[in-house]
Structure 1
Amino acid sequence: MSDTTTETAQPQTSGASIELENLTKRYPGSAEPAVDSVNMEIKAGELIIFVGPSGCGKSTTLKMINRLIEPTGGRIRIGGEDVTDMDPVKLRRKVGYAIQSSGLFPHMTVAQNIGLVPKMVGWSKSKIKSRVEEMLDLVGLDPAEFHGRYPRQLSGGQQQRVGVARALAADPPVLLMDEPFGAVDPITRDHLQDELIRLQHELHKTIVFVTHDFDEAIKLGDRIAVLREKSHIAQFDTPEAILTNPADDFVSGFVGAGAALKRLNLTRVRDVEVTDYPTVQVDDPLQEIFNKLRAAGTNELLLLDKRRRPYKWLRRGDLMRAKGSLARAGTLVHDTVTWDATLRDALEAVLTDNAGRVAVTGRRGEYEGVVDMETLMNSVHELLEADRLEAVEHQHELEEHRAQQTHQEQEGATAAEGEAKA
């Protein structure tokens, strides 16, 4: 059997558990530790978020996991193996690492950047070539188009996708991400977040992700570690638990106002009803487009490009003014959402759209459906009603607890009075 067949047939590696035991970092000359005795257990396949104020030690804690920063004290276990004293270079080849602004080497092509770690660990050329194509496809970039490009020839979002592909290329069980989407514009950031969610559904890696953005933490995390100064853990729980029951005022400050609306970050577009919309393609004859609009019984069509990506919204009046060409007809589609986008992403897109709808796209940007304002508002009302019922139930529990305490106090007083009389 050939080398290529043997190597490419291997299944993807899934995540590994991470244990931090009394992990500490002290810098020379500093009276206080930067990170003070952090204890944490992360399950295999979890996406964990570190969030906290600037300077709290979250990035330092992250970098100690792959020993880019050497711990002063404590232990690190990955998959049950103590890696605290392992050769740090070997350790880093087993742990993927993605940073802000991608960190790509400018003198290397996209393919060379992605294949760097596999080359270092001794993979064959055929396996590296196959893996590069697989990784580009995985992050939604056409291998034929992007293989030979240099980082300067890519947009910020494309660079970040390549950065993630490089971090995953050697199939590590653990991926560390240090504010990887912090340097891109908000729309690109939303799409990169969606892409990470999709990738995690496919790969089940263990991901530790640092951010200062609590909304990003809610959207991405299976669990969130809210960190105080010195990386002391204020609360380590699910996004739902932190939103509905913050541990203290410090955590409440991160949650901020509008917790119910923040819960829109917990529901995905794939969880709500997406409607199909009449579509046409750019090379369809104009008369055929007219006929389709008439048959659809709507006042609008969605024009798709040759790759079936949303291109323009076409209304009946646009077609009347087309005069044989769609070149200047219709309104360009400025925003789309993916299946993994949150309802908050979708609501923001819909609110900026005059007609109150947004196209839903697949992995390669192809059209999948439309979600509209009515669907989203119904979801908002359901969340608010759920919060109201939960608050009422919590109030009833408090009242019952107080009543029990009062009853116990009265019984105690009565017993004490009887003893005194006796």
Structure 2
Amino acid sequence: MPETPGTLSRPPAVGATIELEGLTKRYPGSARPAVDDVHMEIGAGETVIFVGPSGCGKSTTLKMINRLIEPTGGRILIDGRDVTRMDPVRLRRKIGYAIQASGLFPHMTVAQNIALVPRMLRWPAARVRTRVEEMLDLVGLDPGEFHDRYPRQLSGGQQQRVGVARALAADPPVLLMDEPFGAVDPITRDHLQDELIRLQRELHKTIVFVTHDFDEAIKLGDRIAVLRERSHIAQFDTPEAILTNPADDFVAGFVGAGAALKRLNLTRVRDVGITDCPTATVDDPLPQVLDRLRADGADEVLLLDRRGRPYKWLRRGDLMRTGGSLARAGTLVHDTVTRDATLRDALEAVLTDSAGRVAVTGRRGAYEGVVDVGTLMNSVHELLEADRLEAREARHRLEELRADRTHAEQEGFGGEAKA
């Protein structure tokens, strides 16, 4: 069957395995290597986070995977192929790379930035145009609105979305991300993290992600590599395992206090109860909005903008005082969460808004429902109760071990006495 213009001739690429075998980087004149004999296996479609103190070698290790930094020893295998023997330029075109502050070319439009690698790979023009639109839609940006903008015309969060779109444009199996969300404000960062989780659920790429933020590592990672100096691996395990059983004091220092509360980063809004609430749009006449409130027996309605995004919370009393204008009434929606947001994100949003609920949004910020503080607190209580139960079971197992050891010692002494 011939390929339709502008479409892919094969299914989207899923992730590839990555193996680091004795990976080492030594700079001339340095007494010790910057990265020393790293061994690691990363599964296809897995998100692995490198976290460690500044200067420990995590970014150097990441950059050796696509040979932005050339290793001085060891091997890098991607799907079993030794990429240290490949042409490095060709290698980089097959690996997505996203960095802090997006790294967009300021003289190129959004579309030109995204199209860069596909054009280098000599994709047909129709296929490139289609791919640019696909990528903008994938990262939640309207192609009609953003296609011809320049980076200076975008917010920091929008620039990062375009940076991720560019990294994914050529459909690489591997995506490397070097502190990509470190330069944006906390709310935007939370939303970008949620967007990455959603993208990964759809695309199943192999992602290697560098961060200094352990909470970010817990939220995003299938596994976390806690790195010491020279990228020596202190622990490489799931977020749950590291939180509940840190390998040593160094790892425990990264976990910090409140490990039970950090587990809120492991549960998603999609895992708890999302409900609906009465909604209206800015174009709805006031009598219709009041009828909707009466029909639902509610005291509050969520006003949506013309794109279906949460705009304002309107109480019945606000509506009675508007003089017929919805635009002049109500309280602006300060924050929203997505289904991929964590319980911690949702709780922070609810407490910031101090209204007992937060709107849940989907693609391009469209309204999907609400989650309330009661639902969130029930989930928190369940997590804490599970932690208490686990702690009691651990104490019980320890007491049994001590009793067995004491019994064995007594038996031993008794045997000696009889002898």
Which residue in the other structure is 1:110 paired with? 110
Deviation at 1:76, TM superposition (A): 0.4
CA contact (8 A) 1:8 1:130 kept: no
Which residue in the other structure is 1:128 paired with? 128
Distance 2:292 2:202 in 1: 38
Which residue in the other structure is 2:12 paired with? 12
Which residue in the other structure is 1:212 paired with? 212
Which residue in the other structure is 2:79 paired with? 79
Distance 2:271 2:9 in 1: 34
Deviation at 1:2, TM superposition (A): 5.7
For residue 150 of structure 2, what is the amino acid of its counterpart?
A: Y
Deviation at 1:86, TM superposition (A): 1.2
Relative to structure 1, the CA distance from residue 331 to residue 7 in structure 2 (aligned partners, 3 Å threshold; closer, same or farther) is closer
Deviations 1:175-198 (A, max 9, x none): 000000000011100000000000
CA contact (8 A) 1:35 1:231 kept: yes
For residue 98 of structure 2, what is the amino acid of its counterpart?
A: A
Q: Secondary structure at the match of 1:84?
A: helix
CA contact (8 A) 2:3 2:9 kept: no
Deviations 1:125-167 (A, max 9, x none): 1111111111111111111111111111111111100100100
Q: Does 1:366 align with 2:371?
A: no
Which residue in the other structure is 1:343 paired with? 343
Q: TM-score, normalised by structure 1?
A: 0.97
Which residue in the other structure is 2:69 paired with? 69
Deviation at 1:416, TM superposition (A): 3.2
Deviation at 1:228, TM superposition (A): 0.6
Which residue in the other structure is 1:328 paired with? 328
- CA RMSD of superposed structures (Å): 1.2
Distance 2:4 2:67 in 1: 33
Q: Does 1:150 align with 2:146?
A: no
User: Where in structure 2 are the equivalents of 1:18-37 lying within 5 Å?
Assistant: 18-37=18-37
CA contact (8 A) 2:7 2:130 kept: no
For residue 189 of structure 1, what is the amino acid of its counterpart?
A: R
Which residue in the other structure is 2:278 paired with? 278
Which residue in the other structure is 2:159 paired with? 159
For residue 86 of structure 2, what is the amino acid of its counterpart?
A: M
For residue 353 of structure 2, what is the amino acid of its counterpart?
A: D
Deviation at 1:412, TM superposition (A): 2.5
Q: Does 1:307 align with 2:281?
A: no
Deviations 1:189-218 (A, max 9, x none): 000000000000000000000000000000
Distance 1:123 1:407 in 2: 74
Which residue in the other structure is 1:250 paired with? 250
Relative to structure 1, the CA distance from residue 6 to residue 280 in structure 2 (aligned partners, 3 Å threshold; closer, same or farther) is closer
Consecutive unaligned residues in structure 2, runs of 5 or more: none
CA contact (8 A) 2:6 2:131 kept: no
Distance 2:88 2:364 in 1: 37
What is the aligned-residue identity percentage? Answer: 81
Deviation at 1:280, TM superposition (A): 1.1
Relative to structure 1, the CA distance from residue 332 to residue 6 in structure 2 (aligned partners, 3 Å threshold; closer, same or farther) is closer
For residue 394 of structure 2, what is the amino acid of its counterpart?
A: H
Deviations 1:57-88 (A, max 9, x none): 00000001001011111110001111112111
Q: TM-score, normalised by structure 2?
A: 0.98
For residue 283 of structure 2, what is the amino acid of its counterpart?
A: D
CA contact (8 A) 1:4 1:126 kept: no
Q: Does 1:231 align with 2:231?
A: yes
CA contact (8 A) 2:45 2:205 kept: yes
Q: Does 1:295 align with 2:295?
A: yes
Distance 1:377 1:410 in 2: 49
Distance 2:112 2:299 in 1: 50
Distance 1:78 1:258 in 2: 38
Aligned residue-pair number: 419
Distance 1:24 1:209 in 2: 19
User: Where in structure 2 are the equivalents of 1:150-189 lying within 5 Å?
Assistant: 150-189=150-189
Deviation at 1:373, TM superposition (A): 0.7
Distance 1:7 1:199 in 2: 20
Deviation at 1:8, TM superposition (A): 2.4
CA contact (8 A) 2:274 2:369 kept: yes
Relative to structure 1, the CA distance from residue 318 to residue 68 in structure 2 (aligned partners, 3 Å threshold; closer, same or farther) is same
User: Where in structure 2 are the equivalents of 1:181-200 lying within 5 Å?
Assistant: 181-200=181-200
CA contact (8 A) 1:300 1:313 kept: yes
